Structure 1
Amino acid sequence: MEGSTVVGSVNTIASFIQNGGAFMWVILIVWGFGIAIAIERFIKLSFKFDVDGASFMNELQRYILSNDIQGAIRVCSGSAAALPRVLKSGLKRSTSSPGQIQNAIDATALEVIPKVELRMNYLQLVANIATLFGLLGTIQGLIESFAAVAAADPAQKAELLATGISKAMNTTFLGLLAAISIMMVHTFLQSKSDKIVNEIDEFSVKLMDLLGTKKEKGE
C-alpha cells in the first residue's frame, strides 16, 4: 500500500509539472537555486559565524578583569565565529590608545560582516523571479487557451480551454509556492544574520568599556 501511494504521488507531481508547461521547469530551477543558497547560508550562519554572545563576553570579561589579556585572546582564537574574530583584533591592541583599538575592531568588522550577509539578497531575488515566472506562465497559458478556442470546433472548445487554464493555474501555484517558501527562509536567515551583526556592535562597545576600566585600574 505504501509503495503504491508513493508511486501515485510521484505520478501526480509529474503530471502537475508536465501540464504546467516549460515555465514549470524554469521555476523549479530557480527554486532549487534558492534552496541551495539557503542551505549554504544556514550552515554558515548556524555553525560557523554564530556564537552565544552573552556567554562568550562573560568569559572574556573574567580574563580581562583579571588582567589576563593573553588568556582572552586564546579564548577568541578557539572559535571561528564572527564575534570572537572582531573582539580578538581589539584585544591584540589592548595596550594602544582607545582610537587605535576602535580602528582595529572596525577594520575586522568591515571584513567579517560582509561574509555574514553574503548572498542574502539573492534569496529575495529568487522569490521575486519565481513569482514573475509564475505570472508569465499564467499569461502564456491563457493566451494559448484563448487562441486554441478561437480556432477550434465548438465540441473541443471546453477541453482546450480547460487545458490552457490548467497550465496557467499550475505555473501560478508553483511560482507562489516557491516564492513564499524562499521568503520565509530568507526572513529566518536574515534574523540570524542580524543577530550576529548586532552582537558584534554591542559587545565591541562593551569590550572598549572593559579595556578602558582595566587601564584606569592600572593607573
Structure 2
Amino acid sequence: MLSIVQAAGWPIWPLLLCSVLALAIIVERAWSLRTSQVVPEALLGDLDRFDAKQLPGVEVADRLAHSSLLGQLLSAGLRAVIDDPTISDARLRQVMELAGRRVVHALERFLTALGTIATAAPLLGLLGTVVGMIEIFGSQAPGTGNPAQLAHGIAIALYNTAFGLIVAIPSLVAHRHFRAKVEAFELELEAAGERLYGQLTRHTHAAMRAVRGMAQPPHA
C-alpha cells in the first residue's frame, strides 16, 4: 500500500485526507444517529403518559435536555410553560419550532461534508490521473519511448482514479443512508413535538381561564 501511495505521487495525498475524514464522519454519525440517542422508545412511552394537569418540575426538564435529541425538544416546550404558564399558543409553537430546528441541525451535522467528499473524491482521482499522464508523456522523448515503461506509468497514474472511487463509493452510500435516517427521525420528532404541544396547550388554556376567573369582579 505504501509503495502504491509513493508511486501515485502527490495527487493521492488529498485523497488520503478525504478517506480519513470520511471514515471519521461515518463512525461519528453511526454512533450519534442511534435510536437511543435521538428518539428513545422509553421517552416516547413517557410522552403518551404525560399528564398536562400537573407539569413536571425543572429537574425533569433538565434530565430530558441531557437524555436525547427528542428530550431537548420536549424540554424546551416544558421550560417555556413552566416559566410562563399562560404563554400564548403562538409563542409556545415558536419556542418548540426553534428547538426543533436546533435538533435537526444536530442530526444533519457533518452530512454536508460527507456528501462533498463523495462528490469530490472521483474528481481528485481524475486530477491525479491527468497529472500522472502529463508527467508520463512529458518524460517520453521522441524515439526513446519504452512501451513497458509507458504501460507501467499509465497503471501508476490510474491508481489515483481507483483510489478516488474507493473513497467516493462508501462515502456516497453512507451519506444516502444517514440522510434517510435523518429524514425518518425528523418525522418522529415532528410527531412527538405536535403531541406535546397539544398537551401543553391544554395546560396553558386552563391556566389562562383560571387567571381570567380571578380577574373578574365578584357578583354583587
- TM-score, structure 1 normalization: 0.78
Separation in 2, partners of 1:216, 1:29: 56
Q: What is the aligned partner in structure 2 of residue 161 from structure 1?
A: 150
More divergent stretch after superposition (157-166 vs 88-97)? 88-97
Question: Structure 1: where are the runs of 5+ without partners?
Answer: 1-12
1:136-151 correspondence to structure 2 within 5 Å: 136-151=127-142
Q: Deviations over 1:103-124 (max 9, x none)?
A: 2212222333222222211111
Separation in 1, partners of 2:196, 2:107: 21
SS at match of 1:70: coil
The one-letter code of the counterpart of 2:200 is L
Q: Deviations over 1:58-84 (max 9, x none)?
A: 31221226x332179727724431111
| Residues 205 and 63 (structure 1), Cα distance of their counterparts in 2 relative to 1, 3 Å cut | closer
Q: What is the aligned partner in structure 2 of residue 211 from structure 1?
A: 200
Moved over 4 A (4+): 212-219
Q: What is the aligned partner in structure 2 of residue 185 from structure 1?
A: 174
The one-letter code of the counterpart of 1:141 is G
The one-letter code of the counterpart of 1:30 is C
Identity of aligned residues (%): 25
More divergent stretch after superposition (95-104 vs 80-89)? 95-104
1:33-44 correspondence to structure 2 within 5 Å: 33-44=21-32
Separation in 2, partners of 1:201, 1:152: 71
Q: What is the aligned partner in structure 1 of residue 117 from structure 2?
A: 126
**Deviation (angstroms), 1:141:** 2.1
| Larger helix share, 1 or 2 | 1
Q: What is the aligned partner in structure 2 of residue 3 from structure 1?
A: none
Q: How many residues are aligned here? A: 203
**Deviation (angstroms), 1:217:** 8.6
Q: What is the aligned partner in structure 1 of residue 213 from structure 2?
A: none
TM-align CA RMSD: 2.9
Question: Structure 2: where are the runs of 5+ without partners?
Answer: 210-220
SS at match of 1:22: coil
Preserved CA contact (<8 Å) 2:96 2:193: yes
Separation in 2, partners of 1:143, 1:64: 72
1:1-219 correspondence to structure 2 within 5 Å: 13-46=1-34, 49-52=37-40, 55-64=42-51, 67-70=53-56, 74=60, 77-78=63-64, 79-94=66-81, 95=85, 96-151=87-142, 153-154=144-145, 157-212=146-201
